[in-house]
Amino acid sequence: MKKQTHLWKKITALAMTAILTCSIYGCTAKKSESTAASLDPDNPVTVTIWNYYNGDQLAFFEQLVEEFNSTVGTEKGVTVTSVSLGNVDTLADSLLESVDEKAGSEDTPTLASVYSETAYILDKEDALVSFDDYFTEDELSAYVPGFVEEGRFNEDNDLLLFPLLKSSEIFAANQTDWKAFADDTGISITSLKTKEDLTAAAERYYEWTDAQTSDIPDDGKALYGRDAIANYIYLGSYELGHELFKVEDGQVTVDMDRDTFKTLWDNYYIPYINGYFGHYANYSSEDAKTGKILALTSSSSGVTFLPATVTDANDATHDIQMYETEELSFANAKEHAVVQQGASYCLLKSTEAQQDGAALFLKWATEPERNLDFALKSGYSPVTTESNRADSITKAYDGNTASTTGQNILDALLISADGFNNDTAYATKPFYGSKDVRSLLQSALQDTADADRNTVTDSIAAGMSRKDAVAQFSTEEYFDSWFEKLCEDVNVTLKQ
Amino acid sequence: MSRTRNHQQVIKGKSIFRALFVPFILVMILQAGIFYFAAVYGGVEDFLSQNSADILNERLQNRKNEFENTFTDTWTKFDVSTNYINQLYAKYEANYGNTPFVTDSQKQILFLNDCKDILISTLRQNEVNGVFLILNDQNTKSAALESDNVNKYGLCIRDMDQKSTYTNTEDLLLERAPSSMIETAGCSLDSWWEAQYNFSSEENGDYYFKPLRAAYENLSSSGDDLAYFSAPHRFSDTDQAVVSYSIPLLSEDNEPYAILGIELSTKYLASMLPKNEISDADSSCYILATQNASDTDCTPIVYNGILYNRSFDSTSTISTADTNKTNGFNITGRDKTLLYGSKSTLNIYNNNNPFEDKQLVLIALEKADVMFAYIDHIKYVLLFVALLSLILGIVCILIVSRNIAKPITALSTRVGNMTPEEGFDLGRLGITEIDQLVESIETLNYNVSKDTARAEFFSRMSHDMRTPMNAIISFSSPELLEDADEDTKDNYLDKIHDSGGYLLGLINEVLDMTKIENQKTDLICEPIPVSRIWTTVVPIIDKLAQKKQISFIKDIDDSQNLYILADEQHLNQITLNLLSNAVKFTPDYGTIHFQVLLEKEDKHSNQILCRITVRDNGVGISDDFIQKLYVPFEQEAHEKEGTGLGLSIAKKLVELMDGSIQCESLKGSGTVFVITIPFEICDIPVLYEEESISSDTTADASFAEVNLRGKHILVCEDHPLNRQIICKLLEKKGMILTNAENGQAGLEAFAASDLHAFDAILMDIRMPVMDGLTATTQIRALTRADAASIPIIAMTANAFSEDIDSCHKAGMNAHLAKPIEPQKLYHTLEQYLGDA
């Protein structure tokens, strides 16, 4: 009996030791090592992803989701549901309403594609989960550092945004229709080296097109248009040596330099009210599609929307070819930078299984080969270092059937990769009021330009010459008043 | 056969287990088989199959109804836009003349612009993915239906999230719209936006051309009756597929001027087909398909479920030709999986719709082995139940047979191992039948023991009988008599007489016990005075006690002058046995108390309880022997003579009388016997003239001196010795004898005799040719005058009460038991011949 008792004591001690060891190991293990712990193939969990993709990008993304659901998702017990909300601003508004549980709002998703300004607000409302709980340092090291760094903006340096697809900006031009202009004026697309060159070329183009309808004065056409005026302001300020908002240790330093803004003003507002630049539809790519502009600055992810045909006002179409290059800098730019954009994904507080499932999807979707494949279909840049290289992109593209759109995408990805790897990738860290300030800056310049352009066109329609019509808006005083108001508005916004 | 056997000899034959097991198991197998096959193949399987099919059909119908409701409800809501657009077109016609769109693209663009808001509004209010309006810019049927590479102005707006409730247009996408509308539409352009619809064939634009053609060919029909449900189509390879539901818009002249339609993405339709509603997605799926009414093949539009991908490729059609008896159909997937299908046609068209022939059907598919899996499961359960029942039955039989066999085996072992010295108490095993067997075995042992005791008894009897026989024979032998003087001869005669009497007592006791054991003893209760309980035996015991100088103390309650119904003979036998034993086992100068108490339960009771107590201060009874005091033939070691039957006879007789007997004894101190017998009190004394067997020595000895000389006696006796004894006794008294050696001879002698020639007949009972009872009956039946009156006296060794009763019934007057006592003989004859 004594021997038996002694044996049982040994067994009990061994078992307790094993249990204790496993418990300690379990507690200290990263969630990423046991992501599937809460997942059960027999009781699949639904992960809802809000995105703002459209068209082909949406289709490709949904194909990606379907592939996940039918493979890893089935195996692990995760079903991803993709919901497209059209555009990033609509998505952000809807998400904030959902988090605030406003009447009529949608159920909060598990993942949502947002900019850092929106993520900042969500973090303040304690609605986000850190991705550090799901990715080890080793895993994160595979991603482009700047993409990951963009997701760390709070005091605790938590990773609150995870990159799935990023983008930059590119300068694209309808080289088919540009040829006639180039032939007549000698201004080729490749001769444009700076924004100032573009402004001058746009003026020349307006005059050239106006001359084609000699019986109708001042009906020249715009050469150029761009989306995301805020990017123009932020990046331009940065390149000109006056970063608008510098965030360090949670403190925001505002640097609104008059001369810098004057440069910005002179290379967008002035040509805009003159009709050299234009913005007619929701996106510049749409204006290019309808022949209203020949050149644009658009998100590299919008390359799938770059037209392969142009439909004129008579709805007649002709095929075109687009030329893409990196976005132009100012002549006095201190350094060349590229904007780092493309909403990353935030993880909203959900059930443990949903959060595990969301992390699993992101890991799977950003596997280099898969991520690059999606990039070559959508125009978004891949997010891992390995895949965001020119050789990787070129090699992967070789497998695709060549098409105009495909070629456009390839060019855009190579331009973006070059910018991310060789230039400064600029992204504003969010701060309190950064979302509102961005909207303020966006509308301050564009809305003013739209309103003043309307006044000019009305004046022209009333018989005034363009020069006279724009004169009142071209003065230093007018700019200064606008700039002063802008500064006030920014201060007010930041103080709210 | 030897009475001793080696109980370990192999017993051949079937064990209880085998005897029970085989027939039971056969019955149970048969039962299980009948149960299983009757349940499974007796219609249950068909019923369950139909039930499974019904469940599938019910779910299919519910899903079909949901589809129908969705389509109907959605299209109903488009009435608003239909009416608006029709009214708008009427205005256009009023302003610009009939067919204003013909060759006037500006009017078309203008019209589309005017319709934009109503279309967006309708799109917002419905859960559809898109809405379109395509204008007919031709005024002849042939031109309008020209479909080879034609462009049409139209407006197509899509809402990819039809559940969204935005009020602006930021989430809408323009798929088709004139370029001049882009700025004012407020919607972004989709990747594959084009300014116009471009159709390459009627099939390519079936959602436009089919309803348009139907309108031209059915001029009297309204637009709603010409609705068309299209095949899936898409604007580009990367566009998601949509199906359209479109109707022609008709002018007041019933000319089609446009096609209005809604779009539902295949993704949305698939979301209306729940994956796991039938069973899991691996085993089932819904398919929305089109089918020509006359065809059995269905073309899938959308499906939901992994099963479809595994079973069919993208170009497969679903054949519903192979119907089954449950109103479904069977189909085999490409992986050879057998599928069960059910189909239901969606009623989405109005009556007489020209496209009725092209039906929209909803199909539910399920793997046959999953659908009917529970049938197999039930079969297995039934089989399991049957087998379980069988196993339980076997176990039950095992337990039962073990429960039967084990005690029997134990009993067998006990019996085989028992020894006479250990006694025989097998105990009880709690099973009635086995305990009965045990009791029988114990009784058998008892009887065997009794046989053993009987053997000992016979051994002792042999001695006890031979001893007085020896005395009788020896003392009557010529060798001893020839030289004996008269005193010696008288002594010899006394010894011979005593030996004869002792021998007679032995015989009587044996006969009594035999009768009792054979349950042939009946009590003949007659009214007797209560004093008879002691008056007969006391004198006898007095004499016996005197011989040993024993003080015989009598304490008798003689206050009650009652008559009781009792068997006097057996009652005296009981009392005599106890008292004679007391005398036997009390040494000289001892004391015997004899007490008789009479008690009434209550004064109104007609029963009286008689308590007889016999107490002595004799040798007592050992504790061992007192356990078998009443066992026949059992005697204590010190007993040298006697049958060992006296107490057992007494106990049996007491119990026959519903009484009880108790004994207390202390070895060396004495013994007490207490007998308690209830007697029924009777009021009317009935005197019997019959003599009892009791040795009533109080009979008057002088009675024998009544003059019997010259009386003529007919002696019917077959045994010469007995006849000689009787004759000698009768001749000694001067009677005249006539002998008959059997009943027949006696009957003939009497019948032939003169009337009243004989004075009496002495009739033996057991005789050859004719026994005494028969002879008596026949004598009494004779018609002669003395036949009924002549005294017939029985002489017989049958001395029991029933013998006496038989004699009475035959017609005899008296009964003398052999051996005949001379005085009794003379007394009886005098009693019947004295008055003569």
> Residue ranges per domain, chain A?
1-32, 39-161+343-412, 169-339+433-495
Q: What is the pLDDT of residue B701?
A: 42
Q: Does residue A203 have a pLDDT over 80? A: yes
Report the range of poorest mean pLDDT among A114-123, B334-343, B404-413, B791-800.
Answer: B404-413
Which residue of B107, B137, B191, B266 is the best one to mutate when testing the A interface, meaning the one whose CB has the most A CBs within 10 A?
A: B191
Percent residues over pLDDT 70 in chain A: 91
Q: What is the pLDDT of residue A36?
A: 55
CB contacts, 8 Å: A83 with chain B: 161
The Cα of B12 is separated from the nearest Cα of chain A by a number of Å equal to 49
Tell me which residues of chain A have a C-beta less than 8 Å from any C-beta of chain B: 54-56, 58-60, 62, 70, 74, 83-87, 89-90, 104, 280-283, 285-286, 289-290, 304-305, 311-313, 315, 317
Report the range of poorest mean pLDDT among B20-34, B222-236, B523-537.
Answer: B20-34
Which residue of A75, A282, A299, A450 is the best one to mutate when testing the B interface, meaning the one whose CB has the most B CBs within 10 A?
A: A282
Q: Which carries the bigger pLDDT value, residue B6 or residue B385?
A: B385
CB-based burial, B19-39: b 16+ in 10 Å, e otherwise = ebbeebeeebeeebeeebeeb
Residues B254 and B297 in one domain: no
Q: What is the pLDDT of residue A17?
A: 54
Q: Does residue B6 have a pLDDT over 70? A: no
**Nearest chain B Cα to A84, which residue?**
B161
Q: What is the pLDDT of residue B779?
A: 96
Which residue of B175, B189, B242, B304 is the best one to mutate when testing the A interface, meaning the one whose CB has the most A CBs within 10 A?
A: B189
**Which band of pLDDT confidence, cut at 50, 70 and 90, is reported for residue B575?**
very high
Q: Over chain B, what is the mean pLDDT?
A: 82
CB contacts, 8 Å: B196 with chain A: 315
Q: What is the pLDDT of residue A171?
A: 95
Q: What is the pLDDT of residue A32?
A: 45
Which candidate, A310, A297, A309, places its Cα nearest to that of A202? A297
Encoded tokens for B621: 């009874």
Residue B693 counted as domain residue: no
Which candidate, B589, B593, B587, places its Cα nearest to that of B620? B587
Q: Which carries the bigger pLDDT value, residue B574 or residue B820?
A: B574
**Which band of pLDDT confidence, cut at 50, 70 and 90, is reported for residue B122?**
confident
Amino acid at B637: A
Mean pLDDT of A89-108: 86
Residues B94 and B197 in one domain: yes
**Residue in the structure block whose two tokens are 């019917």:** B716
Q: Does residue B690 have a pLDDT over 50? A: no
Residue B729: its H or E element: helix B720-732
CA count, 13 A, side-chain hemisphere, A188: 4
Q: What is the pLDDT of residue B484?
A: 80
Q: How far is it, in rounded angstroms, from Cα B389 to Cα B685?
A: 76
Q: How far is it, in rounded angstroms, from Cα A264 to Cα A234?
A: 10
Residues B119 and B257 in one domain: yes
Q: How far is it, in rounded angstroms, from Cα B758 to Cα B738?
A: 9
Over residues B498-519, the pLDDT tens digits come to 778 777 777 777 777 777 777 7
Mean pLDDT of B386-414: 79
Report the range of poorest mean pLDDT among A426-430, B523-527, B640-644.
Answer: B640-644
Q: Does residue A138 have a pLDDT over 60? A: yes
**Which band of pLDDT confidence, cut at 50, 70 and 90, is reported for residue B685?**
low
Q: Are B599 and B607 in contact (CB under 8 A)?
A: no
CB-based burial, A124-151: b 16+ in 10 Å, e otherwise = eeebbbbbbbbbeeeebebbbeebbbbb
Residue B187: strand pairing partners: none
Q: Does residue B692 have a pLDDT over 60? A: no
Report the range of poorest mean pLDDT among B99-103, B420-424, B472-476, B738-742.
Answer: B420-424
**A169-339+433-495: same fold as A39-161+343-412?**
yes
Residue B609: domain span: 521-682
Percent residues over pLDDT 90 in chain B: 28
Which candidate, A299, A301, A265, A203, places its Cα nearest to that of A474? A265
Q: Does residue B9 have a pLDDT over 70? A: no
Q: What is the pLDDT of residue B48?
A: 77
**Which band of pLDDT confidence, cut at 50, 70 and 90, is reported for residue B638?**
low
Residue B213 counted as domain residue: yes
Q: Does residue B772 have a pLDDT over 60? A: yes
Residue B427 counted as domain residue: no
Q: Is the backbone peptide bond immediately before B819 cis, with ω within 30 degrees of 0?
A: yes
Indicate the residue of A56, A70, A104 with minimum beta-carbon distance to B191.
A56
Residues B63 and B88 in one domain: no
**Which band of pLDDT confidence, cut at 50, 70 and 90, is reported for residue A47?**
very high
**Which band of pLDDT confidence, cut at 50, 70 and 90, is reported for residue A251?**
confident
Residues B208 and B129 in one domain: yes
Q: Are A115 and B201 in contact (CB under 8 A)?
A: no
**Nearest chain B Cα to A50, which residue?**
B161
Report the range of poorest mean pLDDT among A74-83, B95-104, B109-118.
Answer: B95-104
Q: Which carries the bigger pLDDT value, residue B748 or residue A106?
A: B748
Residues B119 and B254 in one domain: yes
Dihedral-angle region of residue B13 (phi above 0 means left; psi in -120 to 50 means alpha; beta otherwise): left
Indicate the residue of A58, A313, A315 with minimum beta-carbon distance to B196.
A315
Residues B543 and B505 in one domain: no
ipTM over 0.85: no
Q: Which carries the bigger pLDDT value, residue B426 or residue B209?
A: B209
Over residues B334-391, the pLDDT tens digits come to 878 888 999 998 887 766 677 767 788 899 998 888 877 777 777 778 778 878 887 8
**Which band of pLDDT confidence, cut at 50, 70 and 90, is reported for residue B7?**
very low
Q: Which carries the bigger pLDDT value, residue A306 or residue A477?
A: A477
pTM: 0.60
B172 contacts A62? CB cut-off 8 A: no
Q: What is the pLDDT of residue B553?
A: 95
Residues B487 and B542 in one domain: no
Which candidate, B250, B243, B251, B261, places its Cα nearest to that of B214? B250
Q: What is the pLDDT of residue A27?
A: 44
Q: How many domains, in total, are found in chain B?
A: 5
Which of B494, B514, B534 lies at the terminal end of a domain, its last residue? B514
Residues B95 and B65 in one domain: no
Mean pLDDT of A434-447: 90
Residue B490 counted as domain residue: yes
Residues B112 and B154 in one domain: yes
Mean pLDDT of B61-84: 84
Q: Which residues contact B465 (CB under 8 A, 6 or more apart)?
A: B503, B506
Which CATH number do you get for residue B508? 1.10.287.130
Which of B388, B420, B449 lies at the terminal end of a domain, its last residue? B388
Over residues A19-41, the pLDDT tens digits come to 544 444 444 444 444 445 788 88
Residue B771 counted as domain residue: yes
Q: What is the pLDDT of residue A236?
A: 94
Q: What is the pLDDT of residue B216?
A: 93
Mean pLDDT of B635-650: 73
Mean pLDDT of B790-798: 86
The Cα of A340 is separated from the nearest Cα of chain B by a number of Å equal to 24
B179 contacts A55? CB cut-off 8 A: no
Which of B479, B514, B549 lies at the terminal end of a domain, its last residue? B514
The Cα of B195 is separated from the nearest Cα of chain A by a number of Å equal to 6
Report the range of poorest mean pLDDT among A41-45, B17-21, B392-396, B687-691.
Answer: B687-691
Residue B241 counted as domain residue: yes
CATH number for the segment(s) A39-161+343-412: 3.40.190.10
Residue B403 counted as domain residue: no
Over residues A339-377, the pLDDT tens digits come to 888 889 999 999 999 999 999 999 999 999 899 888 888
Q: What is the pLDDT of residue B595?
A: 94
Report the range of poorest mean pLDDT among A4-8, A380-384, A385-389.
Answer: A4-8
Which residue of B123, B166, B179, B236 is the best one to mutate when testing the A interface, meaning the one whose CB has the most A CBs within 10 A?
A: B179
**Which band of pLDDT confidence, cut at 50, 70 and 90, is reported for residue A271?**
very high
Looking at the structure, give the CATH architecture of the domain made up of residues A169-339+433-495: 3-Layer(aba) Sandwich (3.40)
Indicate the residue of A74, A289, A317 with minimum beta-carbon distance to B189.
A289
Residues B240 and B106 in one domain: yes
Report the range of poorest mean pLDDT among A69-78, A150-159, B342-351.
Answer: B342-351
Mean pLDDT of A486-494: 92
CB contacts, 8 Å: B160 with chain A: 54, 58, 84, 86
Q: Looking at the complex, does the CB of residue B306 fall below 8 Å from at least one CB of chain A?
A: yes
Q: How far is it, in rounded angstroms, from Cα B713 to Cα B45?
A: 104
Which CATH number do you get for residue B744? 3.40.50.2300
Q: What is the pLDDT of residue B739?
A: 95
Q: Are B687 and B811 in contact (CB under 8 A)?
A: no
The Cα of A369 is separated from the nearest Cα of chain B by a number of Å equal to 21
The Cα of A67 is separated from the nearest Cα of chain B by a number of Å equal to 12
Residues B745 and B789 in one domain: yes
